[in-house]
């Protein structure tokens, strides 16, 4: 009687696959922070290249090499930064000098106004508590400053990768041909084109929203005669590239600046902030997100919350693009599963 192998016995190939899977899981868990940083750099470069891609495509049709276009965009961005610095540095320098000379008096005035309100007086921390809070904030601030070198290196890598992504038009096609069977390539090619268009529109929508907030908030604070209005509007507009982060920081800075004068000014700042944020949330962003990338505002909020819980500020920045990629992937799966099967030709040969 011949002996048969148990049906549950694993082959050597299966054992090797399980070992490779275990090693992969171990590497992901052990180097999760490094992997997330690499993915963030890669995804940031991809989004930046998508912002440059329309200019490169338009000029390529006029026989201008894509590499020259990308370098031109880089030089243009550097020129804009230098121009803005030349225009804003004298004003910001004067505001910083005013803050250094009158800062303690302005802070004392703001605390006095807060203490004059009975309900807020109970919430006002003591000097000792404020000192302890400042000490607790000093260490993260030092860590942030020391991390600027790593951020500069990541930014340099993002620029280099974005150059290759924007200039190599056949990169996605070569990847599809290498990693997908030929029968799946046409559908995957259409999905990649649709995804690229969605992400490109998201990048420019984010820039438009940030520009809207920076201009309207800075102009409104200037009309309300709030100190440091230009600086606050500029900081809020730049940081609004990260959804809701710039508006939150801008509101906090504006309220602190307004409290150095009269408490009523802080109330007007809060009312004006609510108005422009309501316009942004109910008119500007739905128009961009709904028509440009096909996401409902509720889905955007859920994605932002998930990104915040998962990776903090970086997660908020990449939450919507990741959601766009995920939804596109799910749509392709649904389309593939609901498509009618191809019926073979049963006609007899002629």
CA distance 36 to 28: 10
Mean pLDDT, residues 109-119: 62
129-148: average pLDDT: 50
Chain position carrying tokens 């102009």:
219
pLDDT, residue 349, reads 44
pLDDT reading at 127 higher than 50: no
Q: Distance from CA of residue 225 to its chain's centroid? A: 31
CA-angle at 197, arms to 195 and 198, nearest 5°:
65
Structure tokens, 64? 């201008």
Q: Residue 268's pLDDT is what? A: 92
pLDDT at residue 134, rounded to an integer: 46
30/20 Cα distance (integer angstroms):
15
Question: pTM for this one?
Answer: 0.66
Range 266-290 average pLDDT = 85
Least reliable range by pLDDT among 60-64, 267-271, 312-316, 344-348: 344-348
**Cα four-point dihedral sign 291, 292, 295, 300:** negative
**Rounded distance between C-alpha atoms, residue 202 and residue 196, angstroms:** 10
pLDDT tens column, 35-44: 777 888 888 8
pLDDT (tens digit per residue) in 61-94:
898 998 999 999 899 888 877 876 766 666 566 6
Cα distance between residue 121 and residue 123, in whole Å: 5
Burial of 92 (0-12, 13-18, 19+ CB in 10 A): middle
What are 297-322's pLDDT values in tens digits? Answer: 777 778 888 888 877 777 787 888 88
Question: Which pLDDT band holds residue 223 (cuts at 50, 70, 90)?
Answer: very high
Mean pLDDT of 331-346: 62
In the chain, domain spans: 33-134+150-168, 170-338
Tokens for 232?
């606050």
**pLDDT greater than 80 at residue 50:** yes
Whether the predicted pLDDT of 343 surpasses 50? no
Q: 51 vs 37, 45, 203, 206, CA distance in Å?
A: 21, 10, 6, 11
What lies within 8 Å, CB to CB, of 265 at 6+ separation is: 224, 225, 226, 258, 259
């Amino acid at each position: 009687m011949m002996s048969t192998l148990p049906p549950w016995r694993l082959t050597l190939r299966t054992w090797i696959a399980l070992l490779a899977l275990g090693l992969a899981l171990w590497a992901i868990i052990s180097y999760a922070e490094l992997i997330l940083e690499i993915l963030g750099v890669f995804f940031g470069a991809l989004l930046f290249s998508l912002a440059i891609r329309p200019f490169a495509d338009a000029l390529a049709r006029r026989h201008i090499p894509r590499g020259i276009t990308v370098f031109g965009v880089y030089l243009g961005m550097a020129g804009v930064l230098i121009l803005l610095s030349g225009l804003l540095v004298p004003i910001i320098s004067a505001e910083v000098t005013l803050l250094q000379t009158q800062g303690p008096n302005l802070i004392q005035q703001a605390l006095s106004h807060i203490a004059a309100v009975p309900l807020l007086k109970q919430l006002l921390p003591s000097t000792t508590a404020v000192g302890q809070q400042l000490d607790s904030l000093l260490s993260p601030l030092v860590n942030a400053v020391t991390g600027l070198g790593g951020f500069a290196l990541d930014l340099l890598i993002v620029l280099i990768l974005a150059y290759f992504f924007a200039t190599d038009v056949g990169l996605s096609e070569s990847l599809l041909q290498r990693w997908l069977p030929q029968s799946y390539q046409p559908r995957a090619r259409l999905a990649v084109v649709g995804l690229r268009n969605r992400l490109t529109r998201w990048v420019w929508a984010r820039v438009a929203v940030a520009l809207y907030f920076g201009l309207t908030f800075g102009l409104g604070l200037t009309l309300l005669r709030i100190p440091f209005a230009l600086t606050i509007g500029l900081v809020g507009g730049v940081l609004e590239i990260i959804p809701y982060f710039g508006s939150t920081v801008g509101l906090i800075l504006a309220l602190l600046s307004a409290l150095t004068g009269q408490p009523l000014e802080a109330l007007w700042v809060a009312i004006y902030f609510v108005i422009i944020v309501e316009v942004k949330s109910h008119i500007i962003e739905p128009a961009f997100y709904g028509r440009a990338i096909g996401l409902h505002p509720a889905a955007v909020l859920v994605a932002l919350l998930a990104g915040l819980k998962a990776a903090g500020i970086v997660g908020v920045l990449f939450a919507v693009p990741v959601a766009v990629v995920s939804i596109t992937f799910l749509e392709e799966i649904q389309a593939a599963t609901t498509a009618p099967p191809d019926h073979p030709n049963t006609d007899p040969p002629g």
